[in-house]
């Protein structure tokens, strides 16, 4: 696949960009639709958008500009790794590297996530945040793999359902690269 953007990427990573799943226009239209829904649902209220560094920052920046109610933005950073895949069990260890800068008690919180797969990472975060007594807490995710879910996690705003293939671009990285690809593609590691 050859576009101007890929020509700018270094050769090694450019060669890993496979099939395009979602182009810029399709992503923008969906983000705009989600922004309209969120604006209508939160009319007369003030939102706190909470994003998880780093991948979701691209979606957050675009979504925030499509929301018309007053809003604040905050970030958390976590480290998340899989543990114990024996006996088909999968758990996820999540550690906060950076907490929110502000108190969320009594606030309307909307978590803006890039993709939900098993849901284990986000479930840990949601459980933690509920203990701080927000007025409400909802989740908006650009991409979703609901068929991979291992926990029951309500997702109010969902962009696209995607296949179980590794995704890069529009914030999604492979080894911290390819986040700046303006569209969403599948990673192709080759034989």
The Cα–Cα gap between 91 and 1 comes to 37
Cβ-based nearer residue to ligand 5GP, 62 or 114: 114
Cβ-based nearer residue to ligand 5GP, 17 or 42: 17
The Cα–Cα gap between 66 and 39 comes to 8
Which of 62, 99, 101, 117 is catalytic? The answer is 117
Cβ-based nearer residue to ligand 5GP, 71 or 168: 168
Please, are residues 145 and 119 in contact by the beta-carbon 8 Å criterion?
no
**SS3 state at 30:** helix
Reported for 90-98, long-range contacts at CB under 8 A and 24+ positions apart, including other chains, are 90/118, 90/120, 90/150, 91/120, 92/118, 92/120, 92/121, 92/124, 94/120, 94/121, 94/124, 94/125, 96/128, 98/53
Least distance in Å: CB of 2 to ligand 5GP?
A: 23
Least distance in Å: CB of 169 to ligand 5GP?
A: 9
Please, are residues 163 and 146 in contact by the beta-carbon 8 Å criterion?
no
Cβ-based nearer residue to ligand 5GP, 112 or 121: 121
Q: Which two tokens stand for residue 114?
A: 């890039």
Say which residues have a Cβ less than 8 Å from residue 90's Cβ, sequence separation at least 6: 82, 83, 84, 118, 120, 150
User: Does the annotation count 117 as an active-site position?
Assistant: yes
Least distance in Å: CB of 42 to ligand 5GP?
A: 24
Least distance in Å: CB of 135 to ligand 5GP?
A: 25
Q: Which residues bind ligand 5GP (CB under 6 A)?
A: 55, 92, 114-122, 166-168, 172-173
126 sits in which H/E element: helix 120-130
Task: State the catalytic residues.
Answer: 117
């Amino acid at each position: 696949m050859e576009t101007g953007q890929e020509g700018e990427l270094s050769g090694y990573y450019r060669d890993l960009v496979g099939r395009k799943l979602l182009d810029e226009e399709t992503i923008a239209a969906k983000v705009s639709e989600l922004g309209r829904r969120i604006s209508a649902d939160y009319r007369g209220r003030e939102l706190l958008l909470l994003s998880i560094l780093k991948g979701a920052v691209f979606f957050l920046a675009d979504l925030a500009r499509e929301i018309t109610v007053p809003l604040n933005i905050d970030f958390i950073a976590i480290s998340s790794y899989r543990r114990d895949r024996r006996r088909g069990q999968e758990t996820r260890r999540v550690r906060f590297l950076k907490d929110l800068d502000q108190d969320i008690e009594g606030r309307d919180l909307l978590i803006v996530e890039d993709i939900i797969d098993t849901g284990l990472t986000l479930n840990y975060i949601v459980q933690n945040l509920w203990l701080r007594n927000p007025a409400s807490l909802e989740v908006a995710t650009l991409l979703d793999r609901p068929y991979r879910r291992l926990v029951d996690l309500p997702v109010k705003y969902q962009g696209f359902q995607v296949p179980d293939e590794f995704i890069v671009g529009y914030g999604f990285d492979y080894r911290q690269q390819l986040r700046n690809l303006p569209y969403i593609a599948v990673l192709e590691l080759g034989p």
